[in-house]
């Protein structure tokens, strides 16, 4: 079935108290999607953000981001007061997120909410106990990890005292007793997140909107995943990575991209029947209708950079698990729906892996407009309709920003390709031609429908300091011609 949808991160939703949440703004956006004839909402990873505030560097592959808990819902539930929330400085710019202020403000409020929930007996209710039991395979490690991390001032777990860093049983028992309330508070945050997310997802699904979730291929080194499962990663006897993840040099970055994530010990994963991955995908299919796996080519071959290198230049390609991992996933989850992010330099081996898995890949229209009519990213060259087409993703310029930065010859070439005469018509004609394409699914960034330039860009790879911060102003969605979007969705069989 052909579909159309919008890529819009939770953190970019309009909301009070510093960041987009699972509250009213999210429900309003679902209503907007429905009115615009869309059937898909793609979000970015939902995990707790760590280094650089990136959702791709999370403290856990299983936990939800506490920042997305809607405070106004907690006020309605009697766990917080409006005065308490209003007293916190979350930043004054409605277009940007101040993560430092979120960190110092929100967790104080969550502790108050936890203390009140405890007094109300919420932690003794069957719903809470059932949630803890159903998530026991990850939540105990995560909550302990976060509580211990706080007790050491937030430093990387490699700087903790040796016994707890190495997960000595006596040390774990000591910290579980010493930090019992803090540990339970982190569990309670996850309960709040899960309760709000489940309610939102049900609302979206009832409206005919499916959620595409996004998971990074790798985990952060400073994470509960690495700390709790060191045997699953390429670490030396002291616990440091031997090699880390990245991308080789290309036409965009002369030094490549040094991500720094620990690499998987794939033989160990295979020995366990990929148990950790099956648990991860189990959680994903609980949260999302469709799962997009970032950097899919890394399962075929991955770029391994010696730990300590300053750039990714010295890395080399190593073989990944290949089809054996996805055979296990497909066997376990049957019809679980996955999108393979197959961008970048893709070999025949990667193409064969994706084809064998049966997953749709991705196309980026911005990549196709280089003046070469044979470019595989141009719609008339698609040989397989089993693909997801984007004008650009969160890693690309917005459409308006990208058009602004094109040279005149390239702009004129695109006018010819997309069949228009006036410069100002090109933006919306690109969106229309995307709808017309043979790709089964087409997805647009919300910024592109709003015609926003690069001040609204979500992420610029290989940079830090200004990413993951853009928020949409309240009411901005009213500037979008929803009747035209709905018409196109119907005209091109996408609803």
Sheet holding 243-247, edge to edge: 257-262, 243-247, 301-306, 316-319
pLDDT for res 462: 77
Euclidean distance between CA atoms 264 and 321, whole angstroms: 10
What the block records as the tokens of 227 is: 């700390």
| Residue 296 near residue 342 (C-beta atoms within 8 A) | yes
- Tens of pLDDT, residue by residue over 308-327, are 999 999 999 999 999 999 99
Neighbours of 237 (CB within 10 A): 6
How many Å apart are CA 40 and CA 424, to the nearest integer?
A: 28
- Closest to 140 (Cα-Cα) out of 94, 108, 172, 96: 172
Checking DSSP bridges between strand 243-247 and strand 301-306, what pairing results, if any?
A: antiparallel
Report the chain (495 residues): mean pLDDT per 10 consecutive residues: 97 97 98 98 96 93 98 98 97 92 97 98 97 98 98 98 98 98 98 98 98 97 98 97 93 87 98 98 97 96 96 96 97 91 89 94 96 95 95 97 97 96 97 97 98 97 89 96 98 96
pLDDT at 436: 97
pLDDT tens readout for residues 400-424: 999 999 999 999 999 999 999 999 9
Check residue 301 and give its pLDDT.
96
The predicted structure's pLDDT at residue 251:
75
pLDDT of residue 411: 95
Q: What b/e string do you get for 197-234 counting C-beta neighbours within 10 Å, with b at 16 or more?
A: beebbeebeebebbbbbbbbbbbbbbbbbbbbbeebbb
Q: Determine the pLDDT at residue 250.
A: 81
Residue 118, pLDDT score? 97
Tell me the catalytic residues.
294, 341, 395
**Superfamily the domain 3-491 falls into:** Glycosidases (3.20.20.80)
* CA distances to 289, 366, 488 from 38, in Å: 15, 22, 10
Q: Of 276, 266, 275, 281, which is closest to residue 338 (Cα–Cα)?
A: 281
Pick from 8, 103, 6: nearest CA to 458: 8
Our CA angle for 318, 45, 400, nearest 5°, is 100
Angle at the Cα of 57 from the Cα atoms of 55 and 61, rounded to 5 degrees: 85
Structural contact between residues 85 and 125, judged by C-beta atoms closer than 8 angstroms: no
Residue 232 tokens read as 């699953």
pLDDT given for residue 214 in this prediction: 96
Per-residue confidence (pLDDT) for residue 7, from 0 to 100: 98
């Amino acid at each position: 079935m052909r579909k159309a949808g919008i890529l819009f991160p939770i953190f970019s939703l309009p909301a009070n108290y510093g960041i987009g949440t699972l509250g009213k703004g999210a429900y309003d956006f679902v209503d907007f999607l429905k009115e615009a004839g869309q059937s898909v909402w793609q979000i970015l990873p939902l995990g707790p953000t760590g280094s650089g505030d990136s959702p791709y560097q999370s403290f856990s592959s299983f936990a939800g981001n506490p920042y997305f808990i809607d405070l106004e819902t907690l006020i309605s539930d009697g766990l917080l007061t409006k005065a308490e929330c209003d007293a916190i400085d979350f930043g004054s710019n409605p277009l940007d997120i101040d993560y430092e202020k979120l960190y110092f403000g929100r967790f104080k409020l969550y502790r108050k909410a936890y203390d009140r929930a405890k007094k109300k007996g919420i932690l003794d209710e069957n719903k809470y106990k059932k949630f803890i039991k159903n998530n026991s395979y990850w939540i105990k490690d995560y909550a302990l990890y976060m509580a211990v991390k706080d007790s050491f001032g937030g430093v990387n777990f490699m700087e903790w005292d040796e016994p707890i860093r190495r997960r000595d049983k006596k040390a774990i028992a000591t910290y579980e007793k010493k930090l019992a309330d803090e540990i339970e508070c982190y569990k309670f945050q996850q309960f709040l997140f899960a309760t709000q997310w489940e309610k939102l997802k049900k609302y979206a699904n009832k409206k005919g909107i499916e959620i595409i979730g996004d998971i990074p291929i790798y985990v952060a080194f400073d994470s509960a995943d690495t700390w709790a499962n060191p045997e699953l990663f390429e670490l030396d006897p002291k616990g440091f990575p031997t090699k880390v993840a990245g991308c080789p040099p290309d036409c965009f970055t002369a030094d490549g991209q040094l991500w720094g994530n620990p690499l998987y010990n794939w033989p160990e994963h295979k020995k366990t029947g990929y148990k950790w991955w099956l648990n991860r995908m189990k959680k994903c299919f609980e949260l999302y209708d469709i799962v997009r796996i970032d950097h899919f080519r890394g399962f075929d071959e991955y770029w391994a950079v010696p730990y300590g290198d300053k750039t990714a230049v010295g890395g080399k390609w190593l073989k990944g698990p290949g089809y054996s991992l996805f055979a296990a996933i497909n066997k376990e989850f049957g019809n679980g729906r996955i999108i393979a992010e197959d961008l970048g330099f893709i070999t025949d081996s990667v193409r064969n892996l994706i084809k064998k898995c049966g997953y749709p890949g991705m196309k980026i229209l911005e990549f196709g407009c280089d003046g070469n009519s044979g470019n595989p990213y141009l719609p008339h060259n698609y040989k397989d309709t089993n693909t997801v087409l984007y004008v650009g993703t969160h890693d690309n310029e917005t459409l308006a920003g990208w058009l602004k930065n094109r040279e005149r010859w390239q702009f004129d070439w695109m006018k010819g390709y997309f069949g228009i005469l006036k410069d100002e018509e090109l933006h919306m004609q690109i969106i229309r031609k995307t709808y017309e394409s043979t790709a089964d699914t087409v997805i647009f960034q919300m910024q592109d429908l709003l015609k926003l330039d690069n001040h609204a860009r979500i992420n610029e790879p290989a940079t830090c300091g200004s990413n993951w911060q853009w928020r949409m102003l309240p009411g901005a969605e009213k500037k979008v011609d929803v009747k035209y979007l709905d018409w196109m969705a119907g005209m091109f069989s996408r609803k």
